[in-house]
Amino acid sequence: MKLYSLLSLLFLGVLWRSEGVASSSNDDVGRLINVTTFNAMFKYQKDPQCPSQGFYSYQAFLTAARSFGKLGFATTGKLATRKRELLAFLAQTSHQTTGGWLTAPEGPLFWGYCHIRESTEDSYCKADPKWPCAKGQKYYGRGPMQLKGNQNYGQAGKALGLDLLKNPDLVAKDPVVSFKTAIWFWMTAQGIKPSCHDVMVGKWKPTEADKAAKRVPGYGVVSNIIGGSECGSGANTDVADRFGFYVRYCKMLGANPGKHLDCFFQQPFTRM
């Protein structure tokens, strides 16, 4: 009977995983957020005004996130740290894909994950022998992070084992790949910028130059990494939108957002 019970529990564990239910691991991303909360965050992504029409599903996110679990995405540190990183990622990608407007139903912070493709669809091709642009392809923003430029598509593709230079639209057609590119960007240092992951888990330590530029640990630096052109000129709606999503999501999960939420007066990293 004991052996039978043990085998039954093991079978149920496999079944739960196959059906997309959160695994029993304490650091599994699925334990931080369930499908009901996820869908409530992105309440209007299936609205007729949102081109995404549910493209950014909970299961696609979970599959992508789990593939980065061993690298530390939303699995690093104590529970509070893991929650903050997860919510920071969801907030930043909400802003990147927002379809909200000032008078939108329930306000703009309910309209994340609305867009898949950047509206302009420019080529964003820079001459680079390491990451050459493929004939006829364009590297405009796609996916949760709005991955942009042949260099980013090339690097993300190499990391994921995909040829995104030849097939950049895979980021707009396969939701798991789409989320994976966003998490890759999140986990990867961008030139002189630290990775968003390192900032949110407390690994990034500001230099004296960072401190002089008012770049201090907190969610605001993540906004600076992703949208630096919005920073350093005082209060503005784009930066407010970025931390607005974050504060809303933190309230939903009972998480402490921490300090230094904006980059209003931080110098962008590009001004170093």
The CATH number of the domain holding residue 151 is 3.30.20.10
Q: Are residues 244 and 257 in the same domain?
A: yes
pLDDT of residue 270: 80
- Looking at the structure of the chain, the number of domains it has is 2
- Return per-residue pLDDT of the chain as tens, 272 residues: 333 333 333 333 433 333 333 333 557 999 999 999 999 999 999 999 999 999 999 999 999 999 999 999 999 999 999 999 999 999 999 999 999 999 999 999 999 999 999 999 999 999 999 999 999 999 999 999 999 999 999 999 999 999 999 999 999 999 999 999 999 999 999 889 999 999 999 999 999 999 999 999 999 999 999 999 999 999 999 999 999 999 999 999 999 999 999 999 999 998 54
Q: Are residues 222 and 97 in the same domain?
A: yes
Long-range (24+ apart) CB contacts under 8 A made by 13-22 are 20/58, 20/59, 20/62, 22/62
Show the domain range for 219: 32-115+189-271
Q: Are residues 103 and 213 in the same domain?
A: yes
**Number of Cβ within a 10 Å radius of residue 121:** 11
pLDDT of residue 6: 38
Q: Are residues 197 and 236 in the same domain?
A: yes
> Is 39 within the bounds of a domain?
yes
- Return d(Cα 214, Cα 3) in angstroms, integer: 61
> Is 12 within the bounds of a domain?
no
Q: Are residues 127 and 100 in the same domain?
A: no
Q: Write the DSSP symbol of residue 105.
A: T
Distances (CA, A) of 151 to 138, 147, 193: 12, 10, 16
> Is 26 within the bounds of a domain?
no
> Is 47 within the bounds of a domain?
yes
CATH number of the domain where residue 225 is located: 1.10.530.10
> Is 2 within the bounds of a domain?
no
> Is 6 within the bounds of a domain?
no
Q: Are residues 203 and 166 in the same domain?
A: no
> Is 80 within the bounds of a domain?
yes
3-state secondary structure of 147: strand
Q: Are residues 251 and 200 in the same domain?
A: yes
DSSP letters spanning 11-42: HHHHHHHHTTPPPS-TT-GGGT--HHHHHHHT
Domain termination site, one of 174, 197, 216: 174
Which residues have C-beta within 8 Å of that of residue 55, sequence separation ≥ 6? Answer: 45, 113, 116, 175, 178
pLDDT of residue 271: 57
Locate 133 and state its tokens.
């642009």
Q: Are residues 46 and 86 in the same domain?
A: yes
**Number of Cβ within a 10 Å radius of residue 34:** 14
Q: Are residues 196 and 160 in the same domain?
A: no
pLDDT of residue 12: 33
Locate 67 and state its tokens.
């593939």
pLDDT of residue 190: 87
pLDDT of residue 26: 55
Q: Are residues 212 and 125 in the same domain?
A: no
Which residues have C-beta within 8 Å of that of residue 10, sequence separation ≥ 6? Answer: none
> Is 42 within the bounds of a domain?
yes
Q: Are residues 52 and 142 in the same domain?
A: no
Q: Are residues 209 and 267 in the same domain?
A: yes
pLDDT of residue 4: 36
CA torsion sign for 141, 210, 245, 73 is: positive
